[in-house]
Amino acid sequence: MSVEFWFLIGAALVFWMQAGFAMCETGFTRAKNAGNIIMKNLMDFCIGTVVFSLLGYSLMMGEDTFFGLIGRPNLDLFLHFKEFIASPADGGFTGASTFVFNLVFCATTATIVSGAMAERTKFSAYCIYSAVISLVVYPIEAHWIWGGGWLSQLGFHDYAGSCAIHMVGGIAALIGAIWLGPRIGKYKTDASGKVVKVNAIPGHNLPIAALGVFILWLGWYGFNGAAATTPSELSSIFMTTTIAPSVATCTTMIFTWIKNGKPDVSMCLNASLAGLVGITAGCDAVDALGAGIIGVVSGLLVVLFASCGRPRRRGRRAHGKRYVGHAGGRPARKPQRPGGPERPSLHRLCVAARSAGHRRAVGRPVDDGLHDRLLLRHQEVPRPARLGGG
């Protein structure tokens, strides 16, 4: 009873990771897309619950068939509910506990893809994807590993889901990102199509992103440790789950500090997640030294892969400023357009108006036509057409 109680508490912690994903993705994207990000993370779980209940769970945990490729579909959850929630005679977990546990892991797999395709995915299309991965993709491949399928028969070891969850979610995210392409304005190309500049698109709220990472870290103790059956096993898993992300974060901080002259906050937050992902598969099998090595590798990989493919120009990285201090950079003044007068910016109009008001207040002479002339010039010069309708 006590082991099954912790099993369900761990499932609740994994569900709480949905909040972490939502906060992390929202903070690292632009404010105008916050509602879309929150809605996608919410519907990942809600749509996933519906389709996993109807068919996904039986495909994952049903009787093994077709040479270990798939579970046999059944409707025991609906047709034999009393037996489903009853404690088995052998003292194992109830069907309801196993269902809830696997459901929250299924929702986590679906949510991983949201961040990779953020800010350029139609909501209706994303709902279809969420239903497909929760109905078919995750249940079948998880059956191979945890449902008695062909990989488990070969002795494959994935204790908490580095392969079954994170690799599958990562591959789906990679396919989606390649299919959709980059966000509009991310890359600038020349006439031949070669990328000559990478524009930084910073997130709008770094504290919210950091809060999401801390929530995910907390939930990861349930993610990795929920299946533990003894206090010794659970404490060992907690220890390795703490060491790996901590070492990964320190590694990334030192690496970016040396490379850029200052530590990169957003990259360190991603390194924490990379360390957690790296330790997930063998969290029960490695010692403290092994967890530290996994952390070092994870911290280095997250920086190297983030910088992969970025062009260089004039000896400096083309992707420009990082998230930290980006807003403090003073934008350069736009050059005068050929063939027409320079349109005064709204900032200059506001400065002119404030200056006139101050001069009136102190009794100094005021050029009353200055603001009007600037405003007239601002209205006479047409604005360039916006591309893409916003």
Q: Which of 131, 102, 129, 132 is nearest to 113 (CA)?
A: 129
pLDDT tens readout for residues 80-138: 899 888 888 777 889 999 999 999 999 999 999 998 899 999 999 999 999 999 999 99
**In angstroms, rounded to a whole number, what is the distance separating the alpha carbons of residues 388 and 374?**
30
Overall CATH class of domain 2-227: mainly alpha
Q: Which of 309, 302, 267, 268 is nearest to 182 (CA)?
A: 309
Residues 6+ apart with CB under 8 A from 150: 67, 68, 69, 144
Q: Residue 88, Cβ neighbours under 10 Å: how many?
A: 10
- What letter represents residue 251's amino acid? T
Residue 1 contacts residue 71 (beta carbons within 8 Å): no
> Mind listing the pLDDT tens digit of every residue in the chain (390 residues)?
578 899 999 999 999 999 999 999 999 999 999 999 999 999 999 999 999 999 999 999 988 888 889 998 888 889 889 988 888 877 788 999 999 999 999 999 999 999 889 999 999 999 999 999 999 999 999 999 999 899 999 999 899 988 999 999 999 999 999 999 988 888 888 888 888 888 888 899 999 999 999 999 999 999 999 989 899 999 999 999 999 999 999 999 999 999 999 999 999 999 999 999 999 999 999 999 999 999 999 999 999 987 765 544 433 333 333 322 333 333 333 334 444 444 444 555 455 555 555 455 445 554 555 545 544 544 444 444 444 433
pTM attached to this predicted model = 0.76
* Partner residues linked to 197 by β-bridges: 188
**Domain spans, the chain:** 2-227, 231-314, 346-380
Distance of CA 87 to the CA centre of its chain: 37
